[in-house]
Amino acid sequence: MKEIPHFVRNDVESHFKKLTVLGIMSGTSLDGLDLSLCSFWKNDTGYCYEIRKTKTFAYPQTLQQKLQELFHSSAIDFCHTEVEFSNFMAQCVNKFLVNSEIKPNYIAAHGHTVFHLPVKGLTKQIGIGAILAAKTGISTICDFRTTDVALGGQGAPLVPIGDELLFSEYSGCLNLGGIANISMQKTNDRIAYDISLCNIPLNYLAKQLCYEFDNEGNMAGQGNVNQSLLEELNKPDYFFQTSAKSIGFEMFAHYVKPLLDNASISVEDKLRTVCEHIAEQIGKNINTLPKVLVTGGGAKNRFLIELIQQKTNAQLDIPDNQIIDFKEALIFAFLGYLRIHEENNCLKSVTGASKNSCSGAIYLAKNNRF
């Protein structure tokens, strides 16, 4: 029997109820809004889940453009876009559930990260829970990061507690989203951190060739590594830090994007060099892990996966597309499940906070106490 972690109460049968939660995830790469309707329960062997239904909603082009530019927007434009984004989430939820026989007890929404500077006590994921609750009629949990940041933590990554309790058969879980991050078990603690940028720079470059993304890495495969650019990409002190750490869009906006824009080489060469950089950073961070689950959009980038495999001894396990595409939405639903049960869903061993915490603000649409 798997040992129940110290942050879980022992009165399992009386405390934990089966609930269905709709997880909503918007990644930094802006490739769509992921919805995953999941049921969770607990038995004497641990937590169990069932994914009932999933769907990705593409962003309207105008909203996607606003989200891409939000980092540099005025305060009033920021507020208007947050309302528009929140209404879009609510519309997606209502469309998603219109013919569904199963309705969620709660919504758990990650929101969309715009600013993330935990060293300054700042993290901002837009997405107004009150709008979601009001327009869907479903109580909503959001704002999962600020409590941890207030406790001195990075506020990220948040997914590792789900990796530990739902995917414990793997020695590590690698997510290749806009940012690449790793979650692994170290002695008695779960540790996790962001490794490097991933799909953010790759998609930025692909759009210069009129594609939303580099399908299977085919364009990168046509390029050559530029050693000078590679050395600059590998240079930041971040890659040599050993404490809890996380990356925000700021690294791309202030460092990587100028490097790419100023490099006098073909876009294919830039793509190839960025892939080399990502693979090098990931390879050295997972090299001691026997078996690693790989999810996120980058798991479909055949060329990048081949490069990573060349640079590590770890066995990379690519699951089915549902887990690749919706694992983060699944785990945010799980974070909501833990929040409703008043269990810790953010781990100090991961974020560097002063203590574990139960995070997430709850906006009640009705008195739906379970």
- Tell me what pLDDT residue 8 has: 40
Residues 201 and 346 in one domain: no
- Average pLDDT score, the chain: 92
Contact between residue 354 and residue 348 where contact means Cβ atoms under 8 Å apart: yes
Residue 368 lies in a domain: no
Tokens 């050993």, residue located: 242
Do 317 and 176 have their domain in common?
Answer: yes
Q: What pLDDT, on a 0 to 100 scale, did the predictor assign at position 13?
A: 46
Instruction: Report angle CA 140, 144, 147 to the nearest 5 degrees.
Output: 125
CA dihedral sign, ordered 139, 144, 147, 150: negative
* Domain interval for residue 350: 12-155+327-363
**Would you say residue 249 lies in a domain?**
yes
Q: How confident is the model over 342-367, as pLDDT tens digits?
A: 999 999 999 999 999 999 999 999 75
Helices (H), 287-353: 302-310, 321-340, 348-351
Please check whether residue 339 lies inside any domain of the structure. Answer: yes
> Does the pLDDT of residue 4 top 90, yes or no?
no
Torsion of CA 22, 344, 111, 243, to 10 degrees: -140
* Strands, sheet with 19-26, edge to edge from the N-terminal-most edge strand: 46-57, 33-43, 19-26, 106-109, 140-142, 361-363
pLDDT digits 0-9 by tens, 12-42: 444 678 999 999 999 877 889 999 999 999 9
Kindly state whether residue 351 falls inside one of the protein's structural domains: yes
Whether residue 305 is found in the same domain as residue 335: no
Given a cut of 50, whether residue 3 has pLDDT beyond it is: no
- Cα 82 to chain centroid distance, Å, stands at 19
For residue 337, what is the domain's CATH number?
Answer: 3.30.420.40
Do the strands 106-109 and 140-142 form a parallel or antiparallel pair, or are they unpaired? parallel
Q: 352 and 315, same structural domain?
A: no
Provide the pLDDT confidence category of residue 368 given band limits of 50, 70 and 90: low
pLDDT reading at 11 higher than 60:
no
pLDDT tens digits for 244-284?
A: 888 988 999 999 999 999 999 999 999 999 999 999 999 99
Residues 353 and 280 reside in one and the same domain? no
Query: Global pTM?
Result: 0.85
Q: Is the pLDDT higher at 7 or at 143?
A: 143
Query: What's the pLDDT at 367?
Result: 54
Residue 215 clears pLDDT 50, i.e. is over it = yes
pLDDT, tens digit, 9 for 90 and up, residues 134-184? 999 999 999 999 999 999 999 988 999 999 999 999 999 999 999 999 999
pLDDT at 1: 31
pLDDT digits (tens, 9 = 90+) for 234-243: 999 999 998 7
The reply to whether 143 and 212 lie within a common domain is no
**Which residues, 6 or more positions from 311, have their beta carbon under 8 angstroms from its beta carbon?**
279, 280, 282, 283, 284
Per the domain annotation, does 7 fall within a domain? Answer: no
pLDDT at 15: 65
| Number of domains within the chain | 2
**Among residues of the chain, what percentage have pLDDT more than 70?**
95
30 and 121 co-located in one domain = yes
Same domain, 190 and 335: no
Does 169 lie in the same domain as 311?
Answer: yes
